[in-house]
Chain A
Amino acid sequence: MLFNSFQFLIFFPVVTILYFLLPHKLRWLHLLIASCIFYTAFIPVYILILIFTIIIDYIAGILIENAQGSRRKTFLLISIIANVGVLAIFKYFNFFVDNVNSILSAFHITTQPLPFWNIILPIGLSFHTFQAMSYTIEVYRGNQKAEKHFGIYALYVMFYPQLVAGPIERPQNLLHQFHEKHYFDNDRVVKGLRLMLWGLFMKVVIADRLATYVNPLYGNVSQHNGTSLLLATFFFCLQIYCDFAGYSYVAIGSAKVMGIDLMTNFRRPYFSRNIAEFWSRWHMSLSTWFRDYVYIPLGGNRVKKSRWYFNLFIVFLISGFWHGADWKFVIWGALHGFYLVFALVTHRLRNDFNQKSGLTKMPLLLHFLQILVTFILCGFAWIFFRANSLDDALLIINKIAFERGPLFSGNNPAVLPYCAIGILILAFVDFKAEYFTGRFLLFYNRNVYVRYLSYIFIIVTLLLIGVFDSGQFIYFQF
């Protein structure tokens, strides 16, 4: 079920009202059933994969906690192999086959090509697999007690707001909340609904509208010039932000209404002044996952410099691969890894340059330039992420660099003005939140009229210029 669908408009209030009407001891069951309904609205049979990993990890958690010595590690490994195995089979099998076939054909080895597996990737597989893995790892590390209640553990993996696209939760933050009794709290419910409203606005008014410009261009690169592709790339930077952050806001908001706090996933990433900061603001639940479970175990920055750089690079390479079984995602991850290592290597040089050029005496300009450069670097990497193939990505870069021409105005002349309206509202809201915290409040204004007017403005804009054909969220494919 999509958050921007009509089904969800019915599903959410029904589930929430029942949640508060039911006694506490039945709430876990209610949420679990609701989550199953939510998930099976996509492709029902894939729930079996979820059940498989839930059973494995539930048992593994208890065994790890009760075992001593090396047996703990063995049980952890079994759990990790089961989770990664599911990912490998369902997400990476065809990628592997494709590459083996390419290698065989490159060496003119004339065997029958390996057959592909005709399968659709289960929705949100990478998200719930990572969340499940964080549970067994934390139990192994002793930071989390094994959950004895099977239903509650299943709910930890399947909790519908964050089941298919995160935030990727940690057991220490989420599990205990399912045991606690949550009372109806007016302020909390209103805060949750505000987040949901803004998330929907980001998705329906901004992301899906921008997609109506981006998709035709990225879907038919050879027919368009560099100028239009540059605009489409700029739009995609905002589209993916609004799509994913919008999803996260709805997820966090809908959980908050029920009294459950999920972790923050986005913090205005395009105001970052460098790539490291970008990753501390973008998809934070994934960045911290990789930090806690890959980067630090590899040694983090408490190693030799060369090893440190290697650790950083490899983490981003894996992160790219996590996003999709395609070389374009690997390149996207590698680019970010390269940016980070390059930034570390040139740190002193860049500081010297800023001082000698006098930029340090103009902090506002320096601040702006740093944001701009970070945005451009991210935008360049997004080309690989969004393009339909590696060849398309290279063609787009070539066209942006060398081919000028008239701007494609979209299949409908009103597309660009509508995109502009959405972008302006987003810019205003994010800029205000970044630089004027606590000032010019709208949703949070003390004056009830300002608050109500803000809600009404957002809802009216949503109805008037939103895209209502329930476009899928980009990150569902991961």
Chain B
Amino acid sequence: MNSSIIIFLRKLVLFLLILVLIDIALGKALEHFYFKMKSGQSSRITYAMSQTNEDVMVFGSSRANHHYVTTLLEDSLQATAYNAGIDGQGILFQYSLLKAMQSRYQPKIIILDLNPDGLEEASIYYDRLYVLLPYYKKFKEIQPIVNVRSPYEYLKTMSTLYRYNYFILPILYNNILNKTDKEDIKGYEPLYKNINIAKLKNEQKKTLPLDSIKVSNFKSFIQDANRNNCKVFVYISPIFKINEPTPTIEIVKEICNKEGVYFRDYSSHPLFKESTRYFHDFNHLNNSGAEVYSRIVSSEIKGLQKGAINF
């Protein structure tokens, strides 16, 4: 082999070695500060995945997060509760969260709130699973779900830095300032304003076909929870305006019937439908709406549970 190739290879190996060391060292530092965060969405995910021990857990997106008042659930069900709803996340994230949680303990009641279009094709929900990358090595159970992001996700996550891709600013912000402008009551984040109809744009949302991966993850969610004696209640919480039952609602109804799981669709409930009093924006109830809705849900669960679960 000619000498210039040998020199090149020697330099390349040295460079790659330095790079690997930096990746490990910097990655470890980021890991340390990531898991030290006491505010922000990431700290909520960390808590939900590795510290929760509540009896009642709420799963879902931002709609779950703003719609289920944890204290009301606790009072009504006489049990501890935590709202693990995370902005912009879908069933893939929620199933990962359940898997991580079940590796530590079993909640007794799970309220799973789905978006009316939650099981439809939308690649953005795959991209958004990046929020789970910091937990990839800690919770082996979530790896198969996170791997659906791309065919090479397993190889990419070998880089420690990659697992903190996109987190450098939240880590800096939350470690230095360590404050949040959001009110967090056991995971529930209330919204206080009322919807401004003048700002609503009249746009028809296109219905997309169902995503088979999301549907199968939803099924697995229910089956895993049932297998571990968690009682699952599936809800679709109110939305300001919805025209017709979506494919998601139809399939969720079908699966819940088959699996013997309680399902209730409140998306077009007359009490909330187009109510400027109860909505903060098109997709989210405000605190008044959330309180009314949470009371309905908790009394419903209480009624169903009477005598069935000993807290």
Q: What residues of chain A have their CB less than 8 Å away from a CB belonging to chain B?
A: 6-7, 20, 183-186, 189-190, 222-223, 411, 414, 417-418, 452, 455-456, 459-460, 463-466, 468-470
Residues of B close to A455: CB separation below 8 A: 15
**Given A186-B8, A463-B161, A468-B162, A222 contacting B203 (CB threshold 8 A):** yes
Residues of A close to B149: CB separation below 8 A: 469
Instruction: Kindly state whether residue B169 has any CB partner on chain A within 8 Å.
Output: yes
The 10 closest A-B pairs by CB, nearest first: A6-B152, A463-B161, A186-B4, A414-B169, A186-B8, A464-B168, A184-B5, A463-B162, A417-B169, A223-B201
Task: Report how far A455 CA is from B12 CA in the complex, Å.
Answer: 12
Minimal beta-carbon separation of B189 from chain A (angstroms)? 15
Interchain CB contact under 8 A, A470 and B150: yes
Instruction: Kindly state whether residue B176 has any CB partner on chain A within 8 Å.
Output: no
Give the nearest-CB partner of B26 in chain A.
A460
Minimal beta-carbon separation of B136 from chain A (angstroms)? 14
Task: Report how far A184 CA is from B23 CA in the complex, Å.
Answer: 30
Instruction: Kindly state whether residue B2 has any CB partner on chain A within 8 Å.
Output: yes
Question: Which label, helix, strand, loop or mixed, suits the secondary structure of the B interface?
Answer: helix
Instruction: Kindly state whether residue B170 has any CB partner on chain A within 8 Å.
Output: yes
Instruction: Kindly state whether residue B272 has any CB partner on chain A within 8 Å.
Output: no
B150: contacting residue among A184, A190, A411, A469, CB under 8 A: A469
Interchain CB contact under 8 A, B2 and A465: no
- 0/1 interface trace, chain B 8-23, chain A, CB 8 Å (1 if under): 1000000100110011
Residues of A close to B150: CB separation below 8 A: 6, 468-470
Interchain CB contact under 8 A, B4 and A185: yes
Minimal beta-carbon separation of A244 from chain B (angstroms)? 23
Query: Beyond the given A418-B169, A463-B159, A469-B127, could you list 20 further A-B residue pairs with CB under 8 A, ordered by the A residue number?
Result: A6-B152, A7-B152, A184-B5, A186-B5, A186-B7, A190-B8, A414-B166, A414-B169, A452-B18, A455-B15, A456-B18, A463-B161, A463-B162, A463-B165, A464-B161, A464-B165, A464-B168, A466-B165, A468-B150, A469-B150
Residues of A close to B177: CB separation below 8 A: none
Residues of B close to A456: CB separation below 8 A: 18-19, 22
23 contacts between A and B (CB under 8 A): A6-B152, A7-B152, A184-B4, A189-B8, A223-B201, A414-B169, A417-B169, A452-B15, A456-B18, A456-B19, A456-B22, A459-B19, A460-B22, A460-B26, A464-B164, A464-B165, A464-B168, A465-B165, A465-B166, A466-B165, A468-B150, A468-B156, A468-B162
Minimal beta-carbon separation of B132 from chain A (angstroms)? 14
Q: How many residues of B are in contact with the other chain, CB < 8 A?
A: 30
Task: Report how far A418 CA is from B172 CA in the complex, Å.
Answer: 13
Give the nearest-CB partner of B127 in chain A.
A469
Task: Report which residue of B7, B19, B150, B166 has the largest number of chain A beta carbons within 10 angstroms of its beta carbon.
Answer: B166
Task: Report how far A465 CA is from B22 CA in the complex, Å.
Answer: 16
Give the nearest-CB partner of B160 in chain A.
A463
Task: Report how far A184 CA is from B8 CA in the complex, Å.
Answer: 10
Task: Report how far A20 CA is from B2 CA in the complex, Å.
Answer: 11
Residues of A close to B15: CB separation below 8 A: 452, 455
- 0/1 interface trace, chain B 145-165, chain A, CB 8 Å (1 if under): 000011110011001011011
Residues of B close to A466: CB separation below 8 A: 165
A6: contacting residue among B8, B156, B165, CB under 8 A: B156
Task: Report which residue of A414, A418, A463, A468 has the largest number of chain B beta carbons within 10 angstroms of its beta carbon.
Answer: A463
Residues of B close to A463: CB separation below 8 A: 23, 159, 161-162, 165
Instruction: Kindly state whether residue B88 has any CB partner on chain A within 8 Å.
Output: yes
Residues of B close to A223: CB separation below 8 A: 201, 203
Residues of B close to A183: CB separation below 8 A: 2
Residues of B close to A184: CB separation below 8 A: 2, 4-5, 8
Task: Report how far A456 CA is from B26 CA in the complex, Å.
Answer: 12
Residues of A close to B169: CB separation below 8 A: 414, 417-418
Task: Report how far A469 CA is from B2 CA in the complex, Å.
Answer: 39
Task: Report how far A459 CA is from B22 CA in the complex, Å.
Answer: 11
Residues of B close to A7: CB separation below 8 A: 152
Task: Report which residue of A7, A186, A411, A464 has the largest number of chain B beta carbons within 10 angstroms of its beta carbon.
Answer: A464
Give the nearest-CB partner of A418 in chain B.
B169
Minimal beta-carbon separation of A226 from chain B (angstroms)? 16
Task: Report how far A446 CA is from B19 CA in the complex, Å.
Answer: 20
Task: Report how far A185 CA is from B2 CA in the complex, Å.
Answer: 10
Give the nearest-CB partner of A193 in chain B.
B12
Minimal beta-carbon separation of B26 from chain A (angstroms)? 7
Give the nearest-CB partner of B164 in chain A.
A464
Task: Report how far A188 CA is from B18 CA in the complex, Å.
Answer: 22
Residues of A close to B166: CB separation below 8 A: 414, 418, 464-465
Give the nearest-CB partner of B152 in chain A.
A6
Task: Report how far A459 CA is from B20 CA in the complex, Å.
Answer: 11
Interchain CB contact under 8 A, A6 and B159: no
Task: Report how far A222 CA is from B202 CA in the complex, Å.
Answer: 10
Residues of A close to B151: CB separation below 8 A: 6
Task: Report how far A377 CA is from B93 CA in the complex, Å.
Answer: 45
Residues of B close to A222: CB separation below 8 A: 201, 203
Residues of B close to A186: CB separation below 8 A: 4-5, 7-8
Residues of A close to B155: CB separation below 8 A: 6
Give the nearest-CB partner of A184 in chain B.
B5
- 0/1 interface trace, chain B 38-56, chain A, CB 8 Å (1 if under): 0000000000000000000
Residues of A close to B170: CB separation below 8 A: 414
Residues of B close to A465: CB separation below 8 A: 165-166, 168
Interchain CB contact under 8 A, B88 and A411: yes
Residues of B close to A418: CB separation below 8 A: 166, 169
Give the nearest-CB partner of A222 in chain B.
B201
Minimal beta-carbon separation of B182 from chain A (angstroms)? 12
Residues of B close to A470: CB separation below 8 A: 150
Give the nearest-CB partner of B22 in chain A.
A456
Minimal beta-carbon separation of A188 from chain B (angstroms)? 10
Task: Report how far A463 CA is from B164 CA in the complex, Å.
Answer: 8
Residues of A close to B22: CB separation below 8 A: 456, 460
Task: Report how far A469 CA is from B8 CA in the complex, Å.
Answer: 31
Minimal beta-carbon separation of B129 from chain A (angstroms)? 11
Task: Report how far A189 CA is from B5 CA in the complex, Å.
Answer: 10
Residues of A close to B161: CB separation below 8 A: 460, 463-464
Give the nearest-CB partner of B123 in chain A.
A469
Task: Report how far A409 CA is from B169 CA in the complex, Å.
Answer: 15
Task: Report how far A184 CA is from B2 CA in the complex, Å.
Answer: 8
Task: Report how far A175 CA is from B19 CA in the complex, Å.
Answer: 38
Minimal beta-carbon separation of B164 from chain A (angstroms)? 7
Minimal beta-carbon separation of B104 from chain A (angstroms)? 29
